[in-house]
Structure 1
Amino acid sequence: MACIASPILLELLFFWNNDSFTRGLKAIEKSTSLLLFPIFIIGNYQRINFLRITQIYSIATTILMLLLFIRFNVIYPELMNKYLNGIDLWEMGYQFADSIGIHAPALNMHLAFVSVCALFFVFYSIKNEEKRSFKIIRLIVFLLSFFFVLFVNTRMALVNVLAGFAIVFFLEFKSKINVKKTGIISAIALILLGSILFFFVQKNPYMKEKYSKATFAYMDKVGKLDEIDHPEIKVFNSFVTRLSIWKSVWELSVKNLPFGVGASDGKPELVKYYKQTNQQFLAKYEFPTHNQFLDFLLKFGILGPIVALLYMFTIGFLGYDLKSAIIISFFMIFFTSNLTDDFLLRFDGIAFSGLWFSIFASYWLQQKTILDKGQKAA
């Protein structure tokens, strides 16, 4: 419970370092769920049905996304026509995410986890020899969830979802399941996945450019983005922009060690530093840190990244100790997503991680209780 609450405890510990009392309270307010979730969920850990909650979550989210996708096509047909005709393909996922009021990388982090859960339940259906109709439904949910990851089309989420699939395959093949049936289902799933991916690459040729040239363009311009002609067009989402931001964050963080600039002052101080160092492009768009560990370093000094690592790697420990493909995949998705973004700044990222962290901890406590009872009985 202390590990889950550690980010808000850190904000309380360094509250004195905020320049604004009101903004400091708003920063704490965003993180209050990290206190409430552990109390109410872990405090009632015996009542938590981990697999049932995960199953309902993956199915319900996929159905919701399908309805929102249909809505998007009805309300914005001109955008879909534009995309189908190969115009402005780079903004497709961002326009869809904006239509439902969610930041595209945050949405796709959720969807990557949903897709991994859906694949897990395909194997679960095989292992427990469920009816064919259930297996087909689970397979359809999985394929739809993967389709939405591709549709939103953020780089880190796509890499994460494929890595998550590999984790599920590896751990489930080690368990006692019907190898023949699993092989058949896996072959069908791989063929369908490959077909979906092929379709997207054919209909969205920008994917080839996005995952090669666009991502790693202008790497010689780190910290000198204003030398690029129209950087907002050419490098807005490129890796060189992230590196330029991180360079500025690191320089500013080093100047403010050991206690940082304060929880409420991270972004204002960073934007001010962009202007001081004459980085007009970064200052104009007021880019945040895009790295949770550097963000905590800037705000809280030396203790910041230590707490961020503790928070995330405790999730990894729970997954490793339980040998759970779902929890290990969640850790990998959340950890790597925070290398290129800062989801503990956003309420959706805070609530998403705090909720599932508490559910994972409850499941871990259940398994430990069962194990202890078994050892006492023996």
Structure 2
Amino acid sequence: MILILCIASPILLEVIMFWNNDSFAKGFKALEKSTSLLLFPIFIIGNFQRIQFIKLTKIYSILMTILMLFFFIRFNLLFPELLTKYLNGVDLWEMGYQFSDSLGIHAPALNMHLAFVSICNLYFVFSSFKNHEKLGMKSVHLLLFGMSFFFVLFVNTRMALFNALAGFVIVFIFEIKSHFNTKKIIITGAATVLLLSGILYLFVENNPYMKEKYSSVTFAYMDKIGKLDEIDHPEIKVFNSFVTRLSIWKSAWELSVKNLPFGVGASDGKPELFKYYKDTNQQFLAKFEFPTHNQFLDFLLKFGILGPLVVALYIGTIGYLGFNLKNGIIVSFFFLFFTSNLTDDFLLRFDGIVFSGFWSSIFAGFWLQKKTLDKAPEVV
């Protein structure tokens, strides 16, 4: 019951603070989007004995990788002109976003999924060595891992790439060191590093914009926080820069402080923030209507003091389960979802809500399985 309440805490907070919505109709719409955070834990945790965590994760990572290969081929068949531009080094920045748009998914949200898939595939690479699987199966897992990491690079969002690499390290620390002898660690680690380095090198060499994106573009105009309209054509120069995020956060923080202790209401977060952009004469932010891009700030704006505490409880529950189980996949998911929500707001999006709610419930069910087995009496 405690686990169910922790995972359902965002929707429970919306129910408790429902009175604070200016429009009850819009409040119900916001509530409807979060319903899976109640349904998933009730049905999955309520049947935790039936969860086959490793099997489910393996099927998920394999199917997702194959599905992405299908969509990648489809994309290049439907939009050959984009591939031609890409191969000729023209407008390299748009490829990942165009690919995501062809699936109807926001690029950072898609790449968050893909980062987790690549982390899972790496786990099964190491698992194939640990379980002495045949060379053919090891090669299949290596191929799946290489493909999934390529897709992360292809969509090319900064936080997802960072989280994927961090997840690889976490999986190595938690899952490999405790199961492998030194020789196997060296061989498996070297093979993985070699594969990663090769993919990364080939991709960066054929995408010179990536060097620019991760350096000068990201940290341009840092002296213009809250003054983006002073930049000539900010929609061209700083649309994806860190200074834009900081300007949004500054506005969201200022508006949140004005509406403490209870916030503006679940249905009024975005409209009030957009109105604040206009009131403070930030025309660039107002034109593109940027949301908070930080889940802690988003809940602070909507629900006041309780908001960020509930986000911390929701994400922290995943971290507790992972560290308690010493499971690299779960700890990686915790790190990925925590850091992703520092620069985005995935509990605003249905795909982010479902993604986190489903896997949180699976992790909780797996944790209960382990604890039940540990407490089971020995058969004499």
**TM-score normalised by structure 2 residue count:** 0.98
Shift of 1:177: 1.9
* Alignment equivalent of 2:42, drawn from 30, 36, 39: 39
1:349 aligns with 2:317: no
Question: Of the candidates 260, 264, 280, which is equivalent to residue 261 of structure 1?
Answer: 264
Report how far residue 332 of structure 1 moved: 0.2
Mapped pair 1:242 → 2:245: yes
* Equivalent residue runs for 1:273-292 within 5 Å: 273-292=276-295
Deviations 1:187-225 (A, max 9, x none): 222212111111111111111111110000000000000
On the 8 A contact 1:126/1:182 being kept in 2, the answer is: no
8 A Cα contact 1:116 1:164, kept in partner: yes
2:105 to 84, 88, 102: 102
Q: Which residue of 1 aligns with 2:30?
A: 27
Q: Does 65-74 or 173-182 show the bigger shift?
A: 173-182
Alpha-carbon displacement from aligned partner over 1:130-184 (angstroms, at most 9, x marks no partner): 1221111111110100000000000000011000001111123321224434432
Query: CA separation in 2, counterparts of 1:189 and 1:85?
Result: 30
Q: Report the AA paired with residue 284 of structure 1.
A: K
TM-score when normalising by structure 1: 0.98
Tell me the residue number matched to 2:120: 117
Structure 1: stretches of 5+ with no match in the other structure: none
Amino acid of the structure 1 residue aligned with 2:130? K
1:333-375 Cα shifts (integer Å, max 9, x gaps): 000000000000000000000000000000000000010015x
Matches within 5 A, 1:1-378: 1-374=4-377
Counterpart contact for 1:111–1:148, Cα < 8 Å: yes
**Amino acid aligned to 1:42:** I
SS of the aligned residue for 1:168 comes to: helix
- SS class of match (1:289): coil
Deviations 1:232-286 (A, max 9, x none): 0000010000000000000000000000000000000000000000000000000
SS at match of 1:38: helix
Choose 150-159 or 175-184, whichever is displaced more: 175-184
Number of matched pairs: 377
**2:127 alignment partner, SS class:** helix
Moved more, 176-185 or 154-163: 176-185
**Structure 1 contact 126–178 (Cα < 8 Å) conserved:** no
In the alignment, structure 2 segments of 5+ residues that lack a partner are: none
Q: How many angstroms apart in 2 are the aligned matches of 1:174 and 1:206?
A: 37
Of stretches 57-66 and 124-133 in structure 1, the one that deviates more from structure 2 is 124-133
- CA distance in structure 2 between the partners assigned to 1:274 and 1:186 by the alignment: 49
Aligned AA (1:310): L
Amino acid aligned to 2:207 = N
In 1, the alpha carbon distance for the partners of 2:314 and 2:198 equals 38
Alpha carbons 2:253, 2:301 under 8 Å: kept:
yes
The Cα offsets for residues 58-86 of structure 1, whole Å up to 9 and x where unpaired, read as 00000000000000110000001101111
1:127–1:178 contact (8 Å) kept in structure 2: no
| Aligned counterparts of 1:127 and 1:58: Cα–Cα separation in 2 | 19
Distance 1:5 1:53 in 2: 22
The CA RMSD measured in Å over matched residues stands at 1.0
Q: Are the counterparts in 2 of residues 109 and 157 from structure 1 also a CA contact under 8 Å? A: yes
Distance across 2 between alignment mates of 1:146 and 1:178: 26
Paired-residue identity, %:
73
The answer on whether the counterparts of 2:292 and 2:298 sit within 8 Å (CA) in structure 1 is yes
CA distance in 2 between partners of 1:295 and 1:84 (Å): 39
CA distance in 2, matches of 1:73, 1:35: 39
Q: For 1:291-345, what per-residue CA distance to the aligned partner results, in whole angstroms no more than 9, with x for missing partners?
A: 0000000000000000000000110000000000000000000000000000000
